[in-house]
Structure 1
Amino acid sequence: MRLDLPTLFTMTAAVTFTVGVLFLLSWSQSRRERALAVWGVAHVVGSVASLMLALRGQIPDSLSIGLANALMIGAYGLIWSGVRAFEGRRLHLDWALAGGTIWIAACLVPAFFESLPARVGLASTLAGFYCGSGALTIWRGRGEPLVSRYPALLLLATYAALYWLRVPLAFTVPIPASVAVASPWFAILCFTGTLFSVAIAFVFMALTKERAEREQRLAAETDSLTGIANRRALVAGAERHLAVAPAALLLFDLDHFKSINDRFGHSVGDAALAAFCHIAAPLLPPGTVFGRMGGEEFACLLPRFDERAAARVAERVRAGVAGFAHPAYPDLTMSVSVGVAAESQIGGSLDYLLRRADDALYRAKRTGRDRVVTSGDDPLPAVEEALGTGLHAKAGRRSRMRSP
């Protein structure tokens, strides 16, 4: 079955224009994501290029070949630039438009303009470069876990490979200029161009949606003051780890925090909480669950740690906090008490682990603060326990984390 090429080009133009409008409408609802606007403009420009290609023979070749292909190459450049914007990089619009500029400059050379293989080779090289660069940019941003990242990577890489494949074929299987418009090359170009527009719309829209959902989820799981996990996320993460492996729990409590608030003000107290997290987080092993329980209390679950190893981690954090100093507040000092407990069985109870760590934390407070105490250390004497019963009960109630 033979397809009418002007009809194919017109269909490609209509589909590409529709996709561009959808991108721009999405951007109007989420102005923060500049990539949507760039991708929208890219598809509108591509639709104009496809329409001019459809008018081949009805408008001058300088427009249907020269300008149309320059716009098409520029559209690919804008798609690459939009990918950069999505990944938080500079747009580099000058580089995005450089491909079209190179094409126009080449078309001013009569020998090049009259050679169909040369034109196909240059256009394919430039378009493939932009698609390949877009795929590489998406790959470099893989630290942000988005499911649609890999379909987008595969799509751009495949399209780059197809374009680069056209380069040797253009010279080894040349197409006479007199039959170029009727050749399968153009039918394939139109068909793949339409598929590309639709597919890229799906994956790029999915990417922006997944990012927005991830940001909302992270915001719901993050303590706004310190930037670490909040109680809900801490409990959920700890329970997931305990279900599959033994673990140790560290409970932190900043010593004399109320006096910091009273003496320096609540803004300095808030800064002290953030400073503690800034000190502690780099000292904790990878894969730990670190979060704020509330007030000046924090917790950290260490998967596959026994009590002794966990105590060494706690001591590093304690020493790091003890060394805190701020030039603007030379009289401000900080210390932290830490309670440590470990669960050697898979599927252990977080609540039980918390009670043991809380008991160790209480003993660290009662024996002088600024120290690490494990649940296996000797308990307080009976008289001291009796004198501190009320305080212990109060501390225990304040420290408990309950599953949401």
Structure 2
Amino acid sequence: MRLDVPTLFLMTVAVTFMVGALFLLSWSQTRRERALAIWGIAHLAGSVASCMLGLRGAIPDPVSIGLGNAVMIGAYGLIWSGVRAFEGRRPLLGWALAGSVVWLGACLAPAFYASLPARIIVASIIAGSYCALGAWTVWRGRGEPLVSRYPALILLGTYAVIYWVRIPLAAFIPPPAFAPGSDSPWFAILCFVGTLYSIAIAFVLMALTKERAEREQRLAAETDALTGIASRRAFVARAEACLAIRPAALLLLDLDHFKAINDRYGHSVGDAVLTAFCHAASPMLPRSAVFGRLGGEEFACLLPETGPVLAARFAESVRDSVGRIAHPDYPDLRVGVSIGIAAAGAGGALDDLLRRADGALYGAKHSGRDQVMVDETPIPEAAVVLAA
């Protein structure tokens, strides 16, 4: 099959331009994600560069070869800069455009400008380096689990390799000179690969921003906005999944006289007490614990592989730590917590566990508050995990 070079050239310019416009449209709807704006400008610059390169012979060579390649190199630098912005780093626009400056400076040397292999080598080094930097930046951000992160890494890394492979080829196998108006297969391949890259990188980068937005929404739904621990919905889901396969103990915690704290000191102090409670309780719990806010001043903690005796020890540690909470502006403020404990074997129902822990909590409240009380319902012996 023979590829029509003028058609491929027009397709490359049009596709790259449309991709840039789509990036800017997405940015206009999500202004806080400035990476979309940078990627949009990069693709619009790429379409302009493709047009200048494609018009070689119809426009002066310094514009087509010199300026066209400078704009194209700058587009790759902007893509890397956009990746940095996406990962929460400074875009470094100066460094993104430094490659274009180096290219234009080199073109001022007559010997370099007259050598096609030299131009290919320098352009490939710079463009490949920007792609490699983009891949490295994506890799450094892997702590944020996004499905499209590794396709983006592979795509940018592969394109860097493609550019760098051109370096020894240009050095040892001098490429034939060609003009876009000719039927050169090299230009056809260049247009075709450029179009595929524009589509692929746009798809992957758009997917990254979409996945981040969805992840942030999911985390917001699963996190209590005030305390930063699991919301009721998230706690129930995680606790049920854990209890389905492992025995566990449940701590139901309720701050004592919290309404009186709100009434006397104000809701801002009440909110500070809730936050301080979480900060005090969390270090006392094992890393495997599922800790969440059920609502108001009521919290719950599921301790996997833990029996009533060990759970009571954890609860006493929490109670003691909470009792040391102090507010510098209110030295007479006292915070206490009542805790009810119930245990169940693997496969137990969370609703039943909550009901029994609530009964124990009621007993702790009724007995004077600031206490730990354990539900005495027998547990199948095989499911009990004894305290060490």
TM-score exceeds 0.5: yes
Q: TM-score, normalised by structure 1?
A: 0.86
Distance 1:169 1:367, change over 3 A: farther
Structure 1 position 6, deviation (Å): 4.3
Task: Name the count of aligned residue pairs.
Answer: 377
Distance 1:182 1:283, change over 3 A: farther
Whole-angstrom CA distance in 2 between matches of 1:174 and 1:284: 68
Could you list the per-position Cα deviations for residues 124-173 of structure 1 after superposition, in whole angstroms to 9, with x for gaps in the alignment? 22222222222222222222222222222221122122222222222122
Q: Counterpart of 2:301?
A: 300
Cα pair 1:138 1:153 within 8 Å, conserved: yes
Structure 1 position 225, deviation (Å): 2.5
Q: Which amino acid aligns with 1:294?
A: G
Whole-angstrom CA distance in 2 between matches of 1:158 and 1:152: 10
Does residue 270 in structure 1 map to residue 271 in structure 2? Answer: yes
Counterpart mapping for 1:284-323 below 5 A = 284-323=285-324
Counterpart mapping for 1:3-402 below 5 A = 3-177=3-177, 184-345=185-346, 347-376=347-376
Whole-angstrom CA distance in 2 between matches of 1:317 and 1:189: 66
Cα pair 1:9 1:53 within 8 Å, conserved: no
Whole-angstrom CA distance in 2 between matches of 1:122 and 1:282: 56
Deviating above 6 A after TM superposition, structure 1's stretches of 4 or more consecutive aligned residues are 178-182
SS at match of 1:142: coil
Q: Which amino acid aligns with 2:80?
A: W
Structure 1 position 179, deviation (Å): 7.9
Q: Which amino acid aligns with 1:18?
A: M
Cα pair 1:16 1:43 within 8 Å, conserved: yes
Structure 1 position 116, deviation (Å): 2.0
Which stretch shifts more, 304-313 or 321-330? 304-313
Q: Which amino acid aligns with 2:308?
A: E
SS at match of 2:57: coil
Cα pair 1:5 1:54 within 8 Å, conserved: no
Which stretch shifts more, 278-287 or 201-210? 278-287
Whole-angstrom CA distance in 1 between matches of 2:104 and 2:284: 57
RMSD (Å), alpha carbons:
2.4
Whole-angstrom CA distance in 2 between matches of 1:71 and 1:117: 19
Unaligned runs of 5+ in 2: 379-388
Structure 1 position 176, deviation (Å): 4.1
Q: Which amino acid aligns with 1:44?
A: L
Whole-angstrom CA distance in 2 between matches of 1:131 and 1:308: 58
Unaligned runs of 5+ in 1: 379-404
Structure 1 position 244, deviation (Å): 2.7
Q: Counterpart of 1:387?
A: none
SS at match of 1:338: strand
Could you list the per-position Cα deviations for residues 57-97 of structure 1 after superposition, in whole angstroms to 9, with x for gaps in the alignment? 22122111111111111111111111111122211111111
Paired-residue identity, %: 70
Q: Which amino acid aligns with 1:32?
A: R
Q: Which amino acid aligns with 2:93?
A: L
Q: Which amino acid aligns with 1:149?
A: R
Whole-angstrom CA distance in 1 between matches of 2:129 and 2:304: 45
Structure 1 position 293, deviation (Å): 0.9
Q: TM-score, normalised by structure 2?
A: 0.89
Structure 1 position 371, deviation (Å): 3.6
Structure 1 position 368, deviation (Å): 4.0
Structure 1 position 367, deviation (Å): 3.8
SS at match of 2:15: helix
Q: Which amino acid aligns with 1:210?
A: E
Q: Counterpart of 1:381?
A: none
Distance 1:304 1:114, change over 3 A: farther
Whole-angstrom CA distance in 1 between matches of 2:215 and 2:102: 40
